[in-house]
Structures are given as C-alpha cells and as structure tokens.
Amino acid sequence: MTAMTAAGGGPIARFRGTLADRNGQFRIVLVLIFVTILYGATYNDLRQGALRGLFEALPLPSVNVLIVMFYYAILALGLNIVVGFAGLLDLGYVAFYVFGAYTTAFLASPLHDIHIPWWFVVIAAVGVAALAGVLLGAPTLRLRGDYLAIVTLGFGEIMPVLARNLDDLDLSFIGGPEHFNLTGGNIGVNPIDPPILPIPGPWGDSLVFSNGNPVASLYLILGILLLVFVVCVRLRDSRLGRAWMAIREDETAAASMGIDTVSTKLLAFGLGASFSGFTGAFFGAYSTAIFPESFNFAVSISILIMIILGGMGSLRGVVLGAFMIRYVNDSLLPYLGRFVDDPIQSFGAVMPEIPILKERVEAFTLTSYNYLLYGLILVVMMIKRPEGLLPVAARKAELHGEGVAAEATFGTSVEVAEAATEFEAKAGHLKIHETSADDAPGTDDAPGTGGRA
C-alpha cells in the first residue's frame, strides 16, 4: 500500500516504490512516459499529416505546451518542498527562478561574452539559487507564517526590478567601466546559448535542445522531471523529510525532539530554491531569451495554485496540479476561445450602445480570464477541498491520527481531516476545519484549539 512496503524488495521494486505508491500507479507512470515519448516522436508527422483534422478538432497540447507543463511541474515540486513539506508559505518563489535564469544568461550569452556549455552552467545556476534561498531564508525564517509570506513576496517583487534596473552601473570606483550593463535591463537577454550535445545524427552535427528543436527538449525535460520526482520521493521518505513534516505539524514539539529547526527550514528553502534555479536555467536556455516581465507575482501564485489544487505535500498531486493548470492555461483556454470569442465579439458589435460595456464585449477573449480561474481555484479549494485533488491520505492518517494538534500550519487540519475519515474510531472528536458559514464566534486559530479533545 505504501511506498515503504514497496521499497522493501529488490532494486526494481524499490524503483517502483519510488515512482508510485501502488503497482497500478507504477503502470500508469510507465504508460505516461511511453505516451509522452511516442507523442513527441510522432507529433510533427501527425500534426502535419494523417491526423491533421484530429489535432485541429481536439484540444491536444502541442510539444511546446508539454514542455511548459513539465518544467512547471518541476517548479511546483520545488515549491512543494517549502510549502508542502516544511509548511512555510513562500509567495516569492519566482525570485529563485530569476536567479537561475539570470545565472544562465550571465554565463552563456553574448551579454558578457561568456559562453560556458549549459551542462556546467546549470550546476552554477542550481548553486546560486540554492545559496540565494539560504541567504534570503536566514533572516526571515523566524517570522510568523503570514509575515514570512509577505517578506518572501517582497523578495519576489524586488528581484525582477533589480533585473530591470541594473543595466547601467557605475563601477568606476573599483576601476571598472562607468556604464556597466549587468542584466540587460528592460529588453532582457537575447540570445542565450541553448544546451548542445555534440552528437552527430539525423538532426545534424550536434543535438540542440532549444525551442527550435522542441522534441529533443521535451525528452530532456521529461528526463529531468523524472529525476526530480525521484529525488523528491527520496527526500520525503528521508530523515530530513520527516523532520520537515514534524516542523510543519508542530515546530515546538519538533524542536524538543532534537530537530534543529533553523537548519532544517533553511535546507527546505535552499533545496526548494535549487529546483527553481534548475528550471530557470532550463527556461532561459530553452527559450534562448529572458525578459524581466516573465518573472512576476502571478508566476509565484500560479505555482502555489498548482500545489493547492493537487494537494500540498502530495508529489503526485503537485505534478497533476501543474499539468492541469498549464494545460488549461496554454491549450484548453485558447482552444475554447476559438469557439467562444467570435460569437461574443460579434454580439458585442450588434448590441445596444452601452458605454464601456459594449467596447469590452467587442474585445472579449477567453484567455484573458485566466486570473479569474486562478482566483476561483484558490478560494474554492480552500473552502471546499483544502486537501487538494490527490491528497496524501493513508500514511498521514497513521502518523497524525494520534491526536496531534490540528493547528501549527496549514495543511495540518487537512491531514487530520483525512485521519478522521480513515480512522474514525481512533481519531475521536477532532475539531476540524468547519465549513459551516454561520459559525458561533470562535477562537479560530488559537494554538491547540483544533486538537483532539
């Protein structure tokens, strides 16, 4: 049933246990990998040839959309370490993405005329992002949950502003030039060297992983995603992972059990950031250009939405959430827009003259409603299903059904709720997450009130 039991067997069984908690799920994972490879390999031929009609009639994701889905899954897995495992709400995750992307831009572009191969740059990017995570985490980790959220949001906003503004530095005081362009400013960095493998083949002298060759990039990012997923599973089941979850549930209790809460939380920040740096390096090299506008608050929040939709702390859930959000945003909404936009716009043209409204109806595009969708997902999930679509159920119930205070950080009451359904007799009267709107005035989040009577 659990990953732990599956991990008991030989190496193959352990691999299965890492990728999926049940054998049936392992098959699903294998099928998904196989389908992705097949889809990528045949996409161009089918899209242009035999199945052209099918591709136009159905909202099938293009290879580029698949790549975006995959690297957002990596971002979501990274943020999940911070938010889902360690329970620290980070609203500025995009800051580390900036570090990864700009490290790549510095080390592999004509901006500073440095051209290091991507395979080395990515190591530097991961290192820089992880260091940034630790440095930004160090002064902020002692803050309370909501203040931590705001401070991380602040960092997330400052980083793109720095990227935008540090294009004209006066370095004369250390003997440097008077106008030094560090970041490329508003126009960003373009071009950036893509990852290249010097393997001759049908693709030419060497294999280039850029948006000019999406299928190769798809396979690269698929491989990275699998690797990252396995790393996440191993982290979750490690001593460190258990320490994170202990801190999430009850920091005081964890500290009294001998966990060094500061270094454990810093590790969460650093590791989470390193995933983001990794993705930033891939994003910069794959798209061969970066712009400060691509790193805004909405990116941080969209990654958070993926985690909340899938289920905080649930690795499968997080990947599913990332796939769903990106697919809907990049494939489904444009597809549906093809059917909806024109009729509504032409209705706007014939509707009676109402100031502003008519103009807006005439300019209707479905894709501009994605923030509405994001917001609705956040509110509805928090109220109706805070545990996410694929919650971590059985193991959490064993661990937390024993009467841990349903307080500490968010997610906890959710898991206790799970515990309550699965271990009803055991869990007794858990005061959990009341969704009734007409609550009597309560003590809301006072410590311990959610605990077991």
Partner 1 sequence: MNIAAWFAKNTRAVIALVVVVAVLAVFGKSIPIWSGCTAALDRCADIVAIGVFQGMIVALVALGYTLVYGILQLINFANGSVFMLGSVGALFGVEIFGLTKDTPATTVILAFAVILPVTMLLTAGLNAGIERVAYRPLRRAPTLATLISAIGMDFILQNVGQVLIGPSPVSLPSLLPTTNIITEPFVIKVSHVFVTAITVPLLIGLMWFVQATRQGKAMRATAQDREAAGLMGIDVNRTISLTFLLAGALAGGAGVIVALYNGSAWWQYGFSYGLLAFTAAVFGGIGNLLGAAVGGIFLGVLISLNAFYVDPRWQDVVVFGILVVVLVFRPTGLFAAKQSERA
Site for partner 1 in 169-228 (CB under 8 A): 169-173, 178-179
Q: Which is nearer to partner 1, 48 or 449 (CB)?
A: 449
- Dihedral sign from CA coordinates of 156, 158, 160, 163: negative
By CB under 8 A, residue 440 contacts partner 1? yes
3-state secondary structure of 305: helix
Of 69 and 151, the one with the shorter C-beta distance to partner 1 is 151
Using DSSP bridges, classify how beta strands 207-208 and 108-109 pair: parallel, antiparallel or unpaired: unpaired
Residue 363 interacting with partner 1 (CB under 8 A):
yes
Residues 73-92 contacting partner 1, CB under 8 A = 89, 91
Q: Which is nearer to partner 1, 46 or 361 (CB)?
A: 361
Provide the 10 A C-beta neighbour count for residue 337. Answer: 17
Q: Which of residues 89-108 bind partner 1 (CB under 8 A)?
A: 89, 91
For position 347 contacting partner 1 by CB under 8 A, the verdict is: no
CB count, 10 Å around CB of 292?
24
**Selected binder of partner 1 within 30, 38, 150, 227 (CB under 8 A):** 150
Report the residue number, 171 or 257, with the smaller CB distance to partner 1: 171
d(CA 399, CA 249): 11
Shortest spacing between CB 326 and partner 1, in angstroms: 17
Contacts to partner 1 from residues 289-308, by CB under 8 A: 297, 301, 304, 308
Q: Quote the CA–CA distance of 375 and 378 in Å, as a whole number.
A: 5
Tokens of 12: 């193959």
Cα distance from N-terminal residue to C-terminal residue, the chain: 30
Beta-bridged to residue 109, according to DSSP, are 114
- For partner 1, which is the closer residue by CB, 1 or 440? 440
Among 46, 143, 207, 231, binds partner 1 (CB under 8 A): 143
Select from 189-197, 235-243, 264-272, 370-378 the region that touches partner 1 (CB under 8 A): 370-378
Q: Which of 110, 343, 428, 442 binds partner 1 (CB under 8 A)?
A: 442
Rounded least distance, CB 222 to partner 1, Å:
30
Asked whether position 445 contacts partner 1 by CB under 8 A, the answer is yes
Nearer Cβ to partner 1, position 173 or 339? 173
Residue 260 and residue 267 in contact, taking contact as beta carbons nearer than 8 Å: no
115 lies in the binding site for partner 1 (CB under 8 A): no
Q: How far is CA 65 from the centre of its chain?
A: 15
151 binds partner 1 (CB under 8 A): yes
46's tokens: 């089918």
Residue 260 CB neighbours (<10 A): 13
147 lines the binding site for partner 1 (CB under 8 A): yes
d(CA 33, CA 66): 12
| Gap between the Cα atoms of 353 and 419, Å rounded | 57
Q: Could you say which residues in the range 397-436 bind partner 1, by CB under 8 A?
A: 407-410, 412-413, 431, 433-436
* Cβ distance to partner 1 smaller for residue 12 or 146: 146
Question: By the 8 A CB rule, do 189 and 290 touch?
Answer: yes
Interface with partner 1, residue 371, by CB under 8 A: yes
User: Binding to partner 1 by residue 444, rule CB under 8 A?
Assistant: yes
CA dihedral 258, 230, 279, 208 (to 10 degrees): 150
How far apart CA 325 and CA 174 sit, in angstroms, is 48
